[in-house]
Amino acid sequence: MFESMDKEFVLQTYPRNYVHFQKGNNATLYADDGKDFIDFTSGIGVVSVGHGNERLANALCDQAKNLIHTSNLFMIEPQAKLAKKISELCGYSVGTFFANSGAEANEGAIKLARAYGAKNFTKRRYKIVTLEYSFHGRTITTVKATGQSSFHDSKFAPYPDGFSFVSNLEDVYAALDDETVAVMLEIIQGEGGVSVFDKLALQKLAQFLQEKKVLLIVDEVQSGVFRSGEFLASQLYGLQPDITTLAKGLAGGVPIGAVISKHKDIFGVGDHGSTFGGNFLSTRAGCEVLDILDVYKKSGELAVIINYFDTALQAFVRTCKATCKEAVGIGLMRGIRLRNGEMMGKILQAAFNEGVLVLKSGRGTLRFLPPLTISKNEIDEGFTRLQNAFKKIS
């Protein structure tokens, strides 16, 4: 019944697996037919504290019984608390604007950068350089900022100007001109193959950009909120970006986005806004998620699970070396490069049939984004099921 309803009334923009999930417990999902699935996707990096998290559920229920939304025309207490917590976790003073998604956060970052370019230079700067294989969103502007030509479909044209992408970090230097205001990149390219940039090369570029007064925007929509092992992946690199964006895992499943910046005085009243962004419900969720994960990180449990997952992943690659080339990524943002990318569809379906959920990424990469709270037993069971899937298609 629900499948036919979906096909008739929902715009068909996703290649769905028609399974009816009814409940979840940490990294395990349960369908209406009783079948369980190990979730190595966490809703594409969103369910950071696991499915059915009791603390998060209680916080949401408590908040919903009082206030869900009043608009940003009035002060929102959990929004202020969440902004303060973000600044503390960043380790340097920042201000935050709250939106509803990663694409919105990146749109906000682009607007903030262009406002900076108009305010700080005699000749207005507005151009933004991005990297090949990057992904920054699905809106018209963030699609154009995405460094993958396949996303620039002519049926959605014309696109906004002022964006260009280069092949690697070394090519950024030559791409800068007197109209360039920012370089926007992901430290770990999620949709682009779970690829990680070289630490020293990125530090060198960041220093150069600072000297030239060109902003560094780091898109941490997927890599942020402890997925790398630190609150921000940029902290692993010793960086303090001018602008950082967050979304996915920040509220554990409640829609949210965040534009974080050292430049607190660029936006003025009326320069940007959002009806829903940062409302009582989403920011209360964000506060609870960060409290849970901050303790989880400080206790050392996160590092233990990251190490356990890495060990299991590396062992899996060695066992399936005829199909798998190498493991890539950082923390719990991981991938396996396949020797034959054309096998991706068969692998995803076989894994689903075996009861383990995985994702695809660019450059023939099988992607893993499990809940950060995934248990050792769930990791073991997930890789056992994935190995069964690989055996059936080999």
3-class DSSP string for the chain: CHHHHHHHHCCCCCCCCCCCEEEEEECEEEECCCCEEEECCHHHHCCCCCECCHHHHHHHHHHHCCCCCCCCCCCCHHHHHHHHHHHHHHCCCCEEEEECCHHHHHHHHHHHHHHHHHHHCCCCCCEEEEECCCCCCCCHHHHHHCCCHHHCCHHHCCCCCCEEEECCHHHHHHHCCCCEEEEEECCEECCCCCEECCHHHHHHHHHHHHHCCCEEEEECCCCCCCCCCCCCHHHHCCCCCCEEEECHHHHECECCEEEEECCCCCCCCCCCCCCCCCCHHHHHHHHHHHHHHHHHHHCCHHHHHHHHHHHHHHHHHHHCCCCEEEEEEECCEEEEEECCHHHHHHHHHHHHHHCEECEEECCCEEEECCCCCCCHHHHHHHHHHHHHHHHHHC
Q: Mind listing the pLDDT tens digit for each residue in 233-272?
A: 999 999 999 999 999 999 999 999 999 999 999 999 999 9
Residue 2 confidence (pLDDT): 85
User: Chain-wide mean pLDDT for the chain?
Assistant: 97
Residue type (1 letter), 386 = L
Residue 80 confidence (pLDDT): 98
Nearest CA to 42 out of 220, 227, 219, 228 is that of 227
pLDDT value at 345 more than 80: yes
% of the chain exceeding 70 in pLDDT:
100
Indicate the pLDDT class of residue 330, thresholds 50, 70 and 90. Answer: very high
Residue 16 confidence (pLDDT): 87
pLDDT value at 98 more than 90: yes
Indicate the pLDDT class of residue 142, thresholds 50, 70 and 90. Answer: very high
CATH of domain 67-298: 3.40.640.10
pLDDT value at 1 more than 90: no
Structural domain boundaries of the chain?
2-52+299-393, 67-298
Residue 376 confidence (pLDDT): 98
Q: Tell me how crowded residue 20 is: count the other CB atoms within 10 A of its CB.
A: 10
CATH of domain 2-52+299-393: 3.90.1150.10
Chain mean position to CA 318: 28
User: What's the mean pLDDT in 63-74?
Assistant: 98
Radius of gyration of the chain (CA): 21
% of the chain exceeding 90 in pLDDT:
97
* Cβ atoms of residues 282 and 288 within 8 Å: no
Indicate the pLDDT class of residue 394, thresholds 50, 70 and 90. Answer: confident
Can you give the pTM of this predicted structure?
0.96
**Can you tell me the distance from the alpha carbon of 188 to that of 106, in angstroms, rounded to the nearest whole number?**
16
Q: Mind listing the pLDDT tens digit for each residue in 168-207?
A: 999 999 999 999 999 999 999 999 999 999 999 999 999 9
